[in-house]
Amino acid sequence: MLVKKYQAIMLITIGMVLGILVTAFSYSRLTSKATEGTSTAAERKVLFWYDPMYPATKFDKPGPSPFMDMDLVPKYADEGSDEVAGVTISPTQVQNLGLRTDIAETGKLTYQQSLPANVNFNQYQYEIVHARASGFVEKSYPLAVGDYVKKGEPLVAITVSDWVSAQSEYLTLLRTNASPALLKGVLERLYLAGMPKSLINQLNKTKKIQSYLTIRAPISGVLTSFDLRSSMTMNKSALIATIQGIDPIWVVASVPESLTDLLTKDTQLTIEVPALPEQQFKITDWQILSNAQADTRTLSLRLFVANPDHKLKPGMSAIVKLQTETQDYVLVPSQAIINTGDEQRVITQDEQGRFIPKRIKIYAEASGKTAILSGLKAGEKIITSGLFLIDSEANINGALERMREQPADKTNQHNMTGHQGAH
């Protein structure tokens, strides 16, 4: 019995000793690892301190932030890479930020815009009517400014006394069988005196003096001036009327100079007139005028619009709607663009998961898409949300400075030439 009791006491004593030894060994190992971790942390090189809310400002000593109620955060040298102008963010942070990505793709940028416009006279159809001879107005037809006249319609009838003596001489020479040269000289004198060739031909045909002249409209159009009335006298330089055409009529719109490169032969143009909401109009041609308006930075877009029923009146307002497509460019969602005023950039993600800022050059933006001239290639993954935080981290990391030191990629540049219609 005593032996068994003694053996139990010995087992208990041995167990306690072993427990003490194991505890001592574990404590030694933990102390060693803690010391090693402290040594490793102490060996990390601090580049600078910064406030995460103002990452562009760097400090050479730790301490409280002058901007926020918080301490400055150290930036370690081993947190960034000098080889790649990018930053690495942990998967947990990526998930918390709710980052979304998209793929840059090649395509055409579709652009649509409505432009205010005005309806004008067709300046290519413009005639000034003179009598070309002094005379007396026998009759003025019932016309006034604003009336539409057709080609050949009579305007006024005049008597020209200066023609009588020359015609009488011509008929006398004709009866006496004068030489053809002499007869031709008299007819030339009549033509220079303002007698129309139609009346000269009538003189040869009827052998009667023609002193009564009816002046007719040379083109169809609107009378924009008409001042002669019956019983008035006039000289040969007197203005009888001016006529301006309205078929085709002109519709002129102001186009921002930044859009002129988008106007090509494939551009679709349509016209709407508020006064004629149900009417459709056919555009026969269009052209961009050569001069730009320096005060508005716009160019004039002139459209030639068929107007056979004369429903379009000069002075009306109109709306020109244009829809056009660019050549193929690298396209990205417009929300992926970071525009600082001095430069534009996007944040890309490479195959290793690093976020890399890239400086780009923008061509145009429309319908939520932006066309890129250079700096980005099709197929690259871009960040479309959470840009601010990644951009701030890139600024802290120095990635932005390294990006600016690299030459811009010019592999995606394209040139476009506009179209100008001729009339």
The answer to whether the beta carbons of residues 158 and 138 sit under 8 Å apart is yes
Report CA torsion sign: 74, 77, 79, 82.
Answer: positive
254 or 389: whose pLDDT is higher? Answer: 254
Give the pLDDT confidence of 281-335 residue by residue, as tens digits: 999 999 999 888 888 899 999 999 999 999 999 999 999 999 988 889 999 999 8
379 or 408: whose pLDDT is higher? Answer: 379
Question: 347: closest CA among 386, 378, 401, 379?
Answer: 386
The CA distance from 83 to 23, in Å, is 47
Give the pLDDT confidence of 1-41 residue by residue, as tens digits: 544 555 555 655 565 655 555 444 444 444 444 444 444 44
Under DSSP, the state recorded for 94 is: H
Under DSSP, the state recorded for 87 is: B
Choose which CATH entry (3.40.1790.10, 2.40.50.100, 1.10.12.10, 2.60.40.1510) describes domain 127-244.
Answer: 2.40.50.100
CATH of domain 89-126+247-423: 2.40.30.170
Give the pLDDT confidence of 59-73 residue by residue, as tens digits: 888 888 887 777 887
Banded pLDDT at 422 (limits 50, 70, 90)? very low
Instruction: Give the pLDDT of residue 212.
Output: 83
User: Does the pLDDT at position 76 exceed 50?
Assistant: yes
Q: Where are the domains of the chain?
A: 46-78, 89-126+247-423, 127-244
Consecutive H or E run containing 358 = strand 355-366
Instruction: Give the pLDDT of residue 423.
Output: 39
The answer to whether the beta carbons of residues 64 and 71 sit under 8 Å apart is yes
* 3-state helix, strand and coil shares in percent for the chain, rounded to the nearest 5: 25, 40, 35
Average pLDDT over residues 46-69: 78
Banded pLDDT at 221 (limits 50, 70, 90)? very high
One-letter amino acid at 371 equals: A
Instruction: Give the pLDDT of residue 220.
Output: 96
Report the side by side order of strands in the sheet with 54-59. 54-59, 46-51, 73-76
The CA distance from 410 to 61, in Å, is 41
The answer to whether the beta carbons of residues 137 and 234 sit under 8 Å apart is yes
Count of CA atoms in the C-beta half-sphere (13 A) of 301: 31
One-letter amino acid at 284 equals: T
Largest CA distance in the chain: 183
Mean pLDDT (the chain, rounded): 79
One-letter amino acid at 396 equals: I
Which residue reads 């004593």 in tokens? 13
One-letter amino acid at 110 equals: T
The answer to whether the beta carbons of residues 421 and 287 sit under 8 Å apart is yes
- Strand 135-140 versus strand 154-159 pairing type: antiparallel
User: Does the pLDDT at position 56 exceed 80?
Assistant: no
User: Does the pLDDT at position 378 exceed 50?
Assistant: yes
The CA distance from 194 to 238, in Å, is 12
The CA distance from 72 to 66, in Å, is 9
